[in-house]
Structure 1
Amino acid sequence: MTNIRDYIKHHILLFDGGMGTYFSTRNQSVGSGCELANLSQPELIADIHREYLEAGSKAIKTNTFAVNRVNFQGNEELVERTIQAGWKLACEAAKDQAYVFADIGPISGLPETMDIREEFRFVADCFLQLGAQHFLFETNANAEGLKETAAYIKQKNPDAYIIVSFAIQLDGFSRDGSFAADLLHEVQACTDIDSIGFNCVCGARHMLELAQELDHTGITLSLMPNAGYPVVINNRSFYEGDPVYFAAQLLEMAKEGAGILGGCCGTTPVHIAQAKKALDGYTHTKEPKASKKQRVGLVDTLPESLFWEKLRKGEKVVAVELDPPANADLSKFMSGAWMLKGADVDIITIADCPIARARVDSSLLACKIRRELNMDALPHMTCRDRNLNATKALLMGLHAEGIRNILLVTGDPIPTAERDEVKSVYQFNSRKLASFVSSLGQSVLPSPFHLFGALNVNALNFDVQLRLAKGKLERGIIGFLTQPILTEQAFENLKRAREELGGAYILGGIIPVVSAKNARFMDSEINGIRVDETITQMYEGKNRAEGEELAVTISAEIAKRIAPYVDGYYLMTPFQRTALICRILEKIKEQA
């Protein structure tokens, strides 16, 4: 056959359609286990390949989308047999008259002990051993492991042709919050990847609009939309998109510069036949082009954050955390907020349902503080309770209300006893959430948020904390609020963070210890807090007034000691004792 690169220079490469959904139609099943049919129903899989080829496909995918060690519970022998059977069936059907692509889907649900690059390499090796020349990594939500895997394949087979394709929703984001333009830019920088594009999730018209909105200059663009949007009847998805309409949209994609076209979920041989008919005679007349649409410049009419301006100028800032109430009575919370404003606190931070127990929403409280006190607020936002849609909606609302600073954290897990009633979401971790919020600031909002993360200076393995922090910085985090510094080890870790985290802003954590009982409770039962035994002993026999006096002295001493290594202070209010925090702040000012 003609070398695939030469073919694409002069022709549109037309792929097949959705194997999984068409298999379900042919097999009268829900569609799970489609890949195992390579072993159990090889005649049916071969027949489907032939139908797509007869419809006009010039490239077909092996029936191996979900074949990997994670999905197959570590059964390497079954993975290898399924891939071998899928490869053989596709090659026999193609008969050297069509290009066969090793189809590799996303690997999700990966345990922390496993490396996604190793998992991709294992699957790639299975295909390389069979002589595969062409690879399609499809339906990805991010670029993790893809560039490294492409480089690995090219080392083994320099002539390999590699397509990387992402699943992008209607709003331009993937399911884990990656922005389409960012993914294109990131992957385009990898010279080992030959073609980049999108598949699944969107219908043809919306995928065409996506292609029009993005700058794909210099990219061999691959687009494989769904056959419209499904309806679900008796747990089965049915796609009713018109094949002629689908084909007309593919032709428009070709005119936009797409060099590789095909179908995903719901597309049948009829869709591909209509696409072949629409594309017959069409040849590229120009290179892939830049976007026709430009983002309309939005005007941010609200004032910039005073907290951020002060931090950026190098002045020491003060953030104080107030716990949101567990009921709808906000009187004590707001009284504390007014007291802190009077103490010249720069920003009030508000936890997002701490310890995974429902409290007044941190974002709503932040908006109330902004409106009623004309003061900056830093709501915490966890990954635990919201999916992508809810997170995006909340962020747009926060921005509209003048909130410009957010602390992104993973969030405490739901207590074991409550997991039957309360379900966590965790659609993404704090690093992916940071990428999503950063992208939102570039694509949707008039101005970006200033994103902060948490840094646990009390972690047993602080090397891991630093590695995670560096990853967050790469994804848009600009500063960190640390856990309380109440031990010598926490202080040494803070110094390391200052040295190794470059230009990141650091707010050193200070929590007043108010009694020996309080110190032992925090040290034993609060995740991320460690209290030196020497400090605990200092509180023995002290009454409340004496304990608070000692708390003022110790907290101010900690602030003085950490001052050379921080850009500000992050004070946590114990037991709603806002007056105690104000006393500590006065002491810190005296010694400055």
Structure 2
Amino acid sequence: MGNLAQALQDQVLVADGAMGTLLYSQYGISHDFESLNLTHGGDILQIHQAYIAAGADVIQTNTYAANSIKLSRYGLENKLTAINEAAVSLAHTAKVASERPVYILGTIGGIAGSTDITDPDLLTPAAIDASVRQQVEVLLATKAIDGLLLETYFDLAELKRAIKVVQSLTDLPIVANVTMYEPGVLQGGTTLTQALSELAALGVAAAGANCHLGPYQMNEALEKTQLPLGTPLAVYPNAGLPNMEHGQLIYDGSAAYFRTYAETFRQKGAHLIGGCCGTTPEHIAGLFAGLKSRQPVQPEINVQVRQQQAENQAAVARTHPFLEAVKTKKVPLVELDPPKTLRTDRFLKSAQALAEAGIGAITLSDGSLATTRISNLALAAKLKLEYGITPLVHVTTRDHNLIGLQAEIMGLSMLGLDDVLVITGDPAKVGDLPGATSVYDVHSTELISYFKKYNEGISPTGRKLGKACSFSVGAALNPNVRNLDRIPKTIARKVDAGADYIITQPIFDPQIAVDLAKVVADNDIQVPIFVGVLPLLSYRNARFLHHEVPGIRLSEDTLTRMKAAEADGNEREVGLQIAEELVDVICEHFNGIHITTPMQHAEISGALAQYVKAKNTAKV
């Protein structure tokens, strides 16, 4: 049969089934199966031999959880070497006794997200990678395995790191299997198509899926998947869904039913077909008998997947006018707070006046300072659908749990409200209902990534949404800090999550704009930044902002000028003048300005927006 990598390319191989299921049925334990390599080796050997007799060309060592992290649950980490060596020896004994060629895969299971590991330090990427390295080194030292099987990985990032660890130690072929939450999607909403593509790019010998899904749902997943060319597919479904009988998990999916999917998986392009939880030698014998040929089938272009990808790309490609405009000219955005009462006449007239002034969008806060206001989503829909005005909707993590947030995202998309600013939101206790509860199920960076998943047509849980959304997502930034050194990391984290642009808190010191521009240039930050400006109405207003509003600090010069203006009776004029001076400096370095309307005085925001726009026609 040659080496394993070549065999996987040339023919369809039958793999073995579950080890734990059989040990569970024999010994009634649901954990610590790997230690049985030392105490019940004869039983492990018989299981290997039964799978080979059933037709398995490939068997795996009983080492799924034989790593230092999982063995530590039972105080067995000091027996790691002995357990892994015994497992390989037992598989090798079964292989040698076989009358036909058999391949051995050294098995390593996913670790991240394990709920039975109580020490969080053991679940860091560095700790997990070190554990994988240690186990691989022991398996390789036996010189009796033909390849490595990395299986039951819910976390694609963890699997990719594990592959790199293995590849740093050996050239043996790797079979890499992810595990899906729902057919066709992984944890976090990554599609199986994308996951297999990324695994193929790492040069694994085979990539596929195992566990959690039975043959029906595994086949359903493959129908939604475009396989990468040149990388064999591995398929290891469960026997089906388990039942609970007398406190024990029982898989009763029949071997005859399992057999009916053998040829189906081959036709879908599978080169390696085995079983996971609940499968037995009878199930594998069914696979063996159900294959009409050992000739691999070239996967066809999946029209359904291609169509969905095209729709997603078209949705993402939809333009957002203010983001296009800010690339070449000065663009003012204006924030207008929703009313606190049901009287909306003034608000709507202000919005119309601002739109006529040619602003890029009206940004609608979501309960600023945790005060009760009309729903910004409702007002945004009214502005867009009835007045043709572009709204930019603030979405806070404060007011919605995970269910409500996702309902909000879908509602925004349904109404065509595609421009959002994700913020944490001021704590409820600072507002007009201090007894209200702040939710904070997710932080703002996570919520940004949620919006981007919806742009792929997938919810954060991995559910297919039927269509892709087309959100442009803004992130908030407070530049009013003593040291701007952390700003690049903050922006990078939000951009990595999917932020398309940044909107800052209002600044009142021109030097902050200069310093921020230097940080942006020095760190090659490419996303548009809309720097915040808030025209002051009075000295009293200035003192309130400086002393009582989180994230806002005024310069001493600004406070002094506003105090003098109070005495002179021209506070609004001086406040607008200060804002225009800030705009002058900001526009030397940035194209984006975000104007916060002071206490519903939209005429002041409109005047400042006109001042910004005039810079596009001013002579250089």
Q: Into which bin does the TM-score normalised by the smaller protein fall?
A: 0.7 to 0.9
Write the distance in 1 (CA, Å) between the matches of 2:610 and 2:358: 10
- In the aligned structure 2, how far is the partner of 1:26 from the partner of 1:336? 75
Assess if the C-alpha contact under 8 Å between 1:387 and 1:427 holds in 2.
Answer: no
Give the match's secondary structure for 1:130: helix
Q: Distance in 2 between matches of 1:61 and 1:414?
A: 55
Structure 1 unaligned spans of 5+: none
- CA drift at 1:347: 1.3
Matched, 1:91 2:113: no
Hey, what's the Cα distance between the residues in 1 that align with 2:485 and 2:446? 19
Name the structure 2 match of 1:561: 585
Q: How big is the shift at 1:283?
A: 0.9
Work out the CA distance in 2 between the residues paired with 1:588 and 1:28: 74
Cα distance in 1 for residues equivalent to 2:177 and 2:559? 56
Which whole-Å deviations, capped at 9, do the CAs of 1:27-49 have from their partners, x for residues lacking one? 667x5xx2x45459965798478
- CA shift, 1:105, in A, is 0.8
Write the distance in 1 (CA, Å) between the matches of 2:43 and 2:399. Answer: 45
Find the counterpart in structure 1 of residue 534 from structure 2.
511
Matched residues in 2 for 1:253 and 1:356: separation?
Answer: 55
Amino acid at match of 1:311: A
Is 2:130 the counterpart of 1:122?
A: yes
Alpha-carbon shift at residue 569 of structure 1 (Å): 1.4
Show the counterpart of 1:54: 50
Greater gyration radius: 2
State how far apart, in whole Å, the 1-side matches of 2:426 and 2:259 are.
49
1:156 to 169, 177, 188: 169
Q: Which amino acid in the other structure matches residue 54 of structure 1?
A: A
Secondary structure at 2:157 match in 1: coil
- Alpha-carbon distance in 2 for matches of 1:349, 1:209: 43
Is 2:328 aligned against 1:314?
yes
Could you tell me whether the CA contact under 8 Å between 2:61 and 2:91 is conserved in 1?
A: no
The structural deviation recorded for 1:540 is 4.1
SS at match of 2:189: coil
Counterpart check, 1:584 vs 2:608: yes
Match of 2:274 among 262, 267, 278: 262
Over 3 Å counting, the alpha-carbon distance change for 1:536 and 1:298 in structure 2 is same
Give how far 1:257 is off: 1.5
Equivalent residue number for residue 420 of structure 2: 406
Deviation of the 1:412 alpha carbon: 6.8
Return 5+ residue gaps in structure 2 as ranges: 96-102, 459-463
Deviations 1:128-150 (A, max 9, x none): 33133644444445543544543
Separation (CA, whole Å) in 2 of partners of 1:25 and 1:79:
23
Task: Tell me how far apart the structure 1 counterparts of residues 606 and 13 of structure 2 sit (CA, whole Å).
Answer: 69
CA distance in 2: counterparts of 1:585 and 1:21, whole angstroms: 69
Report the counterpart of residue 177 of structure 2 in structure 1: 165
Distance 1:426 1:282 in 2: 52
Is the 8 Å Cα contact of residues 38 and 85 (structure 1) preserved in structure 2? Answer: no
* Partner amino acid, structure 1, of 2:520: A
Q: Which amino acid aligns with 2:169?
A: K
Matched, 1:448 2:470: yes
Equivalent residue for 1:368? 382
RMSD of equivalent CA atoms:
4.8
Question: Is the 1:319–1:570 Cα contact (8 Å) retained in structure 2?
Answer: yes
Who is 1:295 aligned against? 307
- How many residues were matched structurally? 582
Say if 2:34 and 2:65, in contact at 8 Å, map to a contact too.
no
For residues 401 and 61 of structure 2, the distance between their equivalents in structure 1, rounded to whole angstroms, comes to 32
Structure 1 Cα separation of the partners of residues 166 and 12 of structure 2 = 25
Is the CA contact (8 Å cut-off) linking 1:199 and 1:224 kept in structure 2?
Answer: yes
Any conservation in 1 of the 2:226–2:301 contact (CA below 8 Å)? yes
- For 2:349 and 2:33, locate their aligned partners in 1 and report how far apart those are by CA, in whole Å: 66
Say whether 1:196 aligns with 2:207: yes
Q: 1:25 to 1:305 in 2, by over 3 A?
A: same
Alignment of 1:128-527 (within 5 A): 128-132=136-140, 134-144=147-157, 146-157=159-170, 159-170=171-182, 172-191=184-203, 193-216=204-227, 217-229=229-241, 241-268=253-280, 270-279=282-291, 282-291=293-302, 293=304, 294-295=306-307, 307-308=321-322, 310-311=324-325, 314-323=328-337, 334=348, 336-351=350-365, 362-381=376-395, 394-408=408-422, 422=439, 424-425=441-442, 429-430=446-447, 432-433=449-450, 435-440=452-457, 445=467, 448-458=470-480, 462=484, 464-467=486-489, 469-470=491-492, 473=495, 476-487=498-509, 488-489=511-512, 491-498=514-521, 500-501=523-524, 503-514=526-537
From the superposition, tell whether residues 430 and 19 of structure 1 become closer, same or farther in structure 2 (CA, over 3 Å): farther
Secondary structure class of the residue paired with 2:500: strand
Fraction of identical pairs, as percent: 24
- Secondary structure of 2:187 counterpart: coil
The match for 2:100 is none
Aligned residue identity for 1:508: V
Q: Do the aligned partners of residues 315 and 465 (structure 1) sit closer, same or farther apart at CA in structure 2, a change above 3 Å counting?
A: same
User: Structure 2: how far apart are the matches of 1:50 and 1:127?
Assistant: 24
Q: How does 1:4-153 map to 2 (within 5 A)?
A: 4-17=4-17, 34=31, 36=32, 38-39=34-35, 43=39, 47=43, 50-51=46-47, 54-55=50-51, 56=54, 57=56, 58-60=58-60, 62-65=62-65, 69=69, 80-81=77-78, 83-84=80-81, 86-88=83-85, 90-96=87-93, 97=95, 99-108=104-113, 117-132=125-140, 134-144=147-157, 146-153=159-166
Amino acid at match of 2:60: I
Instruction: Specify the code of the residue in structure 2 equivalent to 1:7.
Output: A
Letter in 1 for 2:233: L
TM-score (norm 2): 0.75
> Counterpart of 1:283 in 2: which secondary structure?
coil
Note closer, same or farther for the CA distance 1:501–1:263 as it changes in structure 2 (3 Å cut).
farther
Could you tell me whether the CA contact under 8 Å between 1:14 and 1:262 is conserved in 2? yes
Asked if the contact 1:229–1:239 (Cα under 8 Å) also holds between the matched residues in 2, the reply is yes
Distance 1:432 1:449, change over 3 A: closer
Q: Provide the secondary structure at the position in 2 that maps to 1:176.
A: helix
Q: What CA distance in whole angstroms lies between the structure 2 residues aligned with 1:323 and 1:25?
A: 64
